Chain A
Amino acid sequence: MSKLRCHISISADGFVAGPNQSEENPLGEGGERLHDWAVSLAAWRESHDKQGGEVNASTQIMEETLENVGAGVMGRNMFGPVGGGDWGDEQWKGWWGDDPPYHNDVFILTHHPREPVEMEGGTTYHFVTDGIERALERAKEAANGQDVRLWGGADVINQYLAAGLLDELELHIVPVLLGDGARLFDKVGAAEIGLEQVRAVEAPGVTHLKYRVMT
């Protein structure tokens, strides 16, 4: 059975991106610090065509996040550009260059229709304008039995949580206070969502908490 999985770095005060996201600061002010633990890992560097890096308790966690993923779902704000709106000259192709680290079909939730964009390395961006359920349906078809990865950002994760469509949530909790920004769990607290703890792993500069979502 194909699952919808989300693995995301989060500050100790509950933000997955800092305030004032911009072209220079796609993760908002201070947001880069959320990913320091990952960027230092050999496992992450390899998947982003970079050399070197560490092996530590986060390595297995990182490898697991990349396993058995057949397709992805992403919000428009995460895909960019900052500010959203219609696609203009259609030159914008995400933050991740010509060969993005996804290597499968990624379904972007947007209010603005656009033809699919095929990138190098097996990534194709599809633009879905008929809602989160349809995006998930299409991603599951594309995943062909493998899991679907929900990449973010906060708003889209909150929507999938509130709709009871997320199966697994892993938080990489980083000892950083951002004070403001994109807050996870906003407006989903009153919904009937139960979390079952799967595991907790302590690693340098981060704690990994994994939950099964029960509805």
Chain B
Amino acid sequence: MSNVLLEMSMSLDGYVTGPNVTPEEPMGRGRERQHATKRRNRCVDYEPGR
């Protein structure tokens, strides 16, 4: 019997992308904040797996 699995990155406040998803920022706003402060776990810090 095969199972259906979900595994994904999520912010501590429960989001899988930031707000305002655009073609330029496919994961929404927040990735830039991660780059600005790399050592911190930001509210949104998802890296797309591509």
Contact = CB atoms under 8 A, between A and B. Distances in A.
Interface of A: 13-14, 171, 184-185, 188-189, 193-197, 211, 214
Interface of B: 12-15, 37, 39-44
A194 B14 contact: no
B12 A185 contact: yes
A196 B13 contact: no
B13 A211 contact: no
Contacts, number: 31
A13 B14 contact: yes
Given A195-B12, A195-B42, A211-B41, 14 more contacts: A13-B14, A14-B13, A171-B12, A184-B13, A185-B12, A185-B13, A185-B14, A189-B15, A193-B43, A194-B41, A194-B42, A195-B41, A196-B40, A197-B41
B14 A195 contact: no
A186 B44 CA distance: 14
Nearest to A169: B12
B13 A189 contact: yes
Contacts of A185: 12-14, 43
Contacts of A13: 14
Contacts of A193: 43
Contacts of A214: 40
10 contacts: A184-B13, A185-B13, A185-B14, A185-B43, A189-B13, A189-B15, A194-B37, A194-B40, A194-B41, A196-B41
A189 B43 contact: yes
Nearest to A197: B41
A14 B41 contact: no
A22 to B, nearest CB: 26
Nearest to B45: A195
Contacts of A184: 13
A185 B10 CA distance: 14
A13 B10 CA distance: 11
